[in-house]
Amino acid sequence: MAAPTVELGAKGFSLSSTTTYSAANSLAHVEIDSSALDKLKPSSSSSSSLPPSLTPSSNSSPRFLPPVLARAAIVVFLNKLLSSDSSVRRSLPALLQQSLALSSGFEKLDFSSPASLLHSLCSITNKDVSTVSASPEEIGFFETSSSAEIAIAAILDCCATALIRVSDAVAALSCEAGRADPAAFDLPVSGDGFSRKDETDVAADIKMLLFGSKLAGKNGSPVFLQIPSSFGLFREAVRSLHACVRIELNSSVKLRKPTEDGNYGKKASVVDLVWFLAKPMKSMAESSFKRAKLNIESIVDEKIRSEVESLFNKQCVSVDGFKETFKSVLDNYMERNDNVAFLQGVYDLLVKFREILAWEAALALFSIEIDDSIEKNRGDALVNAQPNGENAKGDKKGEKKKKKKTLGKGTSAILQLLTDQVANCKEVSGDKVATSVEWAGDLSKYFDPRDSRLEILVAKVKEIVESNEVRRLPKIPKGTRDFAGEQMAIREQAFSTIASVFKMHGAEALDTPVFELKETLMGKYGEDSKLIYDLADQGGELCSLRYDLTVPFARHLAMNNLSAMTRYQISKVYRRDNPSKGRYREFYQCDFDIAGQYEPMLADFEVIVVLTQLLDKLDIGTYEIKFNHRKLLDGMLDICGVPAEKFRTVCSSIDKLDKQTFEQVKKELVEEKGLSVETADRIGAIVKKRGHPFEILTELKAEGSKFLENSGSVAALGELDILFQALKEANCLDNLVFDLSLARGLDYYTGVIYEAVFKGTTQVGSIAAGGRYDNLVGMFSGKQVPAVGVSLGIERVFAIKEQQAKDRNQVVRATDTQVLVSILGKDVISASKLATPLWNANISAKMKVSKRVMDHITFAKQKGIPWMVLVGESELASGVVKLKNIELNEEITVSREDYVEELRKRL
């Protein structure tokens, strides 16, 4: 079969790690698209003006690479030349292509400098070096392209990516051979961000490969327990390297000077990611070696076990040797700062790791194959061979055969695939111990991407772990939750309470779309705009999921030209945040807003009353409501010397004081926001003030206060005085705190701002927040409509209520079912005749048919159903029913005509 052709420079072509590996191993021919050559610019006469630091050094030491890595570097260099905007003559790409067409000579390529590479390329292609001498642009291009580093990283990426699936398959076989405890792979997936995705994915994949296994044991060896974590880190590292290499292989090259340490940004990023790969690869190699030893220990025959162990110790890379090589690679890099040598060393480590993995696989296969207690799919000579040379099929007549154990569905398929390749494709050696060595050698070649069979193995493993047949449990996205049963009962009760408070204050319900035009949302949330979820473009409209309910409310007012409205809305909002305990990406908000022109602080007062009534009626326990004013904040920043254009961004930093110390916030203000240390310290002295509303108000209004020199601050203090006086008359001041650190980072606030914080043992933080936003509606329509509102973070309230129910041992009923219609038998028709009159009378009822009385009673107790209508054969014959009170354990008998009315009286 002819090797495929890679046409560099073709329209739409992008170089990949796999393509680079194929070309480097002569598995694909490299051609140059003619149009790419036509686009190259000839070398200009102004090239001599390039920085002299890009010219080659005459005293550089030779840099030779192994042929495969050298070919890869030439492929990458050629691809970058063809996509370059620099001045490159056609002769140079042609020279590179001609060299790639050769089968040897790459061990002589010297990558130490452009001149050295050019001379060695001419040498292996029999060209006159004087005809292809490099121009300064081409010299600079070579220095800047980092081709060798990117090429070796691409080879590493290709090999390591394949080993992700291979290592999973081999580890699963070792789990079978070593009778591993499957509990090692029971890792729960957390919806709040407290689980590592790669780690849980590895555990799930191994579990799928072992699905249906009857070999599961109690071996809880750490070498099995560590599989999810070490394999997960390896996956993460490979994915990061793959993303970087994919970009660097096809990125354009800009001529520039190297940095002082000789590194370019590309080199540094690639080296860092390869180092990130090398560390988990070391852990993988060590654990693979240990599992190989366990596979040997699982061989029952002592003589075979001893011989296999002896051969393994002599011929396999030792774990100590691997560690020593790893240390040598690291030491050389740290001392010489040689990127290419480091990357080449990591590639050598990967080859050694692959050899250890092959030994682990061979020993797992061997251990399973010679174990006659395990059922295999084939009946070859090796399967039936016994340690004493007798045939397993020669059991004496009358002897009871033991039932053989089976492998998992996935491991069984992998076992057959591997043994078909390493055993059945050639005659099996009569010496079983020597066979294990042969298999290790064959598998080492098999696990190399040069072997076409590897693609089949990787595809098979992927097919198994993604197959519906093995019933992989579905997941929900991080930051989301399912709610059912008792949780929904608590939520519905809370929603009912909240809606009743809103309606008591004359609010009308409003519902808005779950997504808005992106332009509607942008520019309203300050630095939090990065948390908005954008949707895919559909029909030319850029949409985003709503971030809160306030901006959609303002949009509704503007769109409908409304100048006044008191509304409430209970709906879900979405934030692309990092999930944590009590912090979700999808959650409900309960909003109450008053829009329109009113007397100063009248609407603000009512909103705060609504908030206190909500928190009191929900009975969540101790809370406090922190107050501040946006104009007071702006006045404070002005007093402290903050430029006006930085007010909003500084407020975003101050708003973090409820989660961070002032020293952390100060560092952000100085290093990121550009404030002086003195200005940050002045802010710190003021934002630490908090206390009873009237005490702080009196202090800020005292004679000589700097706040009295700022017109905005004076207006804010006057408004807060009116508000606090009104709240005092309404007996709503007890839980209020005047806190000058409260900033509320959203850009649209213009006046009073507040935040309710739970003070109980359940750590949930802020449970409600809001403020005045007089300019938000005008941002849409140009018509100013003053508004003020509050939003209750109901998810955190639910967390408090659920914990309270748990602490108080409260029984929360998931349903409102009042009556269980219990038929002692299987008569569905009788059940329907008894239940239908109850439903017609608006009595909540559920039917159950079962011959056992205790089934009915147990079900009623579990669901908290207070009454039962019990009917058996005798009751049917007599035309009566029994009414049973579950709590009191009392029964009465009534006629069929009267049971509905009797239940209505007693419920």
Distance, first Cα to last Cα, the chain: 83
138 or 678, greater pLDDT: 678
Among residues of the chain, what percentage have pLDDT more than 70? 86
Could you tell me if residue 235 is left (phi over 0), alpha (psi between -120 and 50 degrees) or otherwise beta? alpha
Place of tokens 């291979």: 166
What pLDDT is recorded for position 764?
Answer: 67
d(CA 59, CA 790) in angstroms, rounded, equals 73
Mean pLDDT value across residues 332-360: 87
pLDDT exceeds 80 at position 89: no
Region of poorest pLDDT, from 15-24, 164-173, 327-336: 327-336
d(CA 174, CA 294) in angstroms, rounded, equals 8
Mean pLDDT value across residues 711-730: 92
Residue ranges of E strands in 419-533: 508-509, 515-517
Selection from 58-62, 63-67, 645-649, 812-816 with the highest mean pLDDT: 63-67
What is the Cα 733 distance to its own chain's centre?
Answer: 44
On whether the CB atoms of residues 571 and 549 are closer than 8 A, the answer is yes
393 or 634, greater pLDDT: 634
Residue type, 145: S
d(CA 384, CA 399) in angstroms, rounded, equals 18
What pLDDT is recorded for position 427?
Answer: 44
115 or 261, greater pLDDT: 115
Sorting pLDDT into bands at 50, 70 and 90, what band is 790? very high
CA quadruple 51, 53, 58, 61: dihedral, nearest 10: -150
Place of tokens 């408004």: 719
Q: What three-state secondary structure class fits 110?
A: strand
- Candidates 826, 649, 819; CA nearest to 743 is 649
d(CA 809, CA 811) in angstroms, rounded, equals 6
Sorting pLDDT into bands at 50, 70 and 90, what band is 252? confident
How many helices (H) and strands (E) are present in the chain, helices listed first?
34, 20
Region of poorest pLDDT, from 153-167, 209-223, 795-809: 795-809
Q: What are phi and psi of 552, to 5 degrees?
A: -60, -35
Sorting pLDDT into bands at 50, 70 and 90, what band is 838? very high
Longest CA span, the chain? 117
Tokens representing residue 382 in the block: 């090796």
Residue 623, beta-bridge partner list: 758
Sorting pLDDT into bands at 50, 70 and 90, what band is 567? very high
What pLDDT is recorded for position 48?
Answer: 35
Mean pLDDT value across residues 828-835: 91
pLDDT exceeds 80 at position 747: no
Mean pLDDT value across residues 113-124: 84
Tokens representing residue 308 in the block: 């296999």
Residue type, 353: F
393 exposed, middle or buried (CB, 10 Å; 0-12, 13-18, 19+)? exposed
Residue 406, beta-bridge partner list: 375
pLDDT exceeds 70 at position 47: no
Query: Could you read off the pLDDT of 461-510 as tens digits, one per residue?
Result: 988 888 755 455 677 888 888 887 777 888 888 899 999 999 999 999 99
On whether the CB atoms of residues 869 and 847 are closer than 8 A, the answer is no
Mean pLDDT value across residues 31-46: 68
d(CA 629, CA 740) in angstroms, rounded, equals 8
Residue 110, beta-bridge partner list: 64
What pLDDT is recorded for position 801?
Answer: 78
Region of poorest pLDDT, from 200-204, 394-398, 482-486, 630-634: 394-398
Q: Which residues contact 526 (CB under 8 A, 6 or more apart)?
A: 648, 649, 651, 652, 745, 746, 747
Buried b (16+ CB within 10 A) or exposed e, 722-738: ebbebbeeeebbebbbb
What pLDDT is recorded for position 301?
Answer: 86
384 or 308, greater pLDDT: 308
pLDDT exceeds 60 at position 49: no
Sorting pLDDT into bands at 50, 70 and 90, what band is 582? low
| 8-state DSSP, 107 | G
DSSP 195-260: S-HHHHHHHHHHHHHTTT-S----B--HHHHTHHHHHHHHHHHHHHHHHHHHHHHH------PPPT
Query: Could you read off the pLDDT of 624-677 as tens digits, one per residue?
Result: 999 999 899 888 888 888 888 888 788 878 878 877 888 888 888 888 888 888
Query: Could you read off the pLDDT of 290-317 as tens digits, one per residue?
Result: 999 999 998 888 888 898 889 888 888 8
- Candidates 509, 516, 417, 399; CA nearest to 460 is 417
What pLDDT is recorded for position 832?
Answer: 92
- Cβ neighbours, 10 Å, residue 877: 8
On whether the CB atoms of residues 630 and 660 are closer than 8 A, the answer is no
Place of tokens 């008792």: 486
Element (H, E) at 93: helix 91-100
- Cβ neighbours, 10 Å, residue 452: 9
The three-state DSSP-derived secondary structure of 163-184 is HHHHHHHHHHHHHHHCCECHHH
Residue 822, beta-bridge partner list: 848, 870
What pLDDT is recorded for position 473?
Answer: 60
What pLDDT is recorded for position 436?
Answer: 80
Selection from 411-425, 668-682, 837-851 with the highest mean pLDDT: 837-851
What pLDDT is recorded for position 767?
Answer: 86
Range 653-661 contact pairs with CB under 8 angstroms and sequence separation of 24 or more: 654/683, 654/687, 654/741, 654/743, 655/742, 655/743, 655/744, 655/745, 657/687, 657/741, 657/743, 658/741, 658/757, 658/765, 658/766, 659/765
pLDDT exceeds 50 at position 169: yes
pTM assigned to the model: 0.58
What pLDDT is recorded for position 556?
Answer: 94
569 exposed, middle or buried (CB, 10 Å; 0-12, 13-18, 19+)? buried
pLDDT exceeds 60 at position 157: yes
536 exposed, middle or buried (CB, 10 Å; 0-12, 13-18, 19+)? exposed
d(CA 828, CA 849) in angstroms, rounded, equals 7
Mean pLDDT, the chain, rounded, equals 83
On whether the CB atoms of residues 215 and 179 are closer than 8 A, the answer is yes
Query: Could you read off the pLDDT of 501-559 as tens digits, one per residue?
Result: 999 999 999 999 999 999 899 888 877 788 888 888 777 788 999 999 999 999 999 99
pLDDT exceeds 70 at position 382: no
What is the Cα 592 distance to its own chain's centre?
Answer: 34
Query: Could you read off the pLDDT of 851-900 as tens digits, one per residue?
Result: 888 999 999 888 889 999 999 988 888 899 999 998 888 999 999 899 99
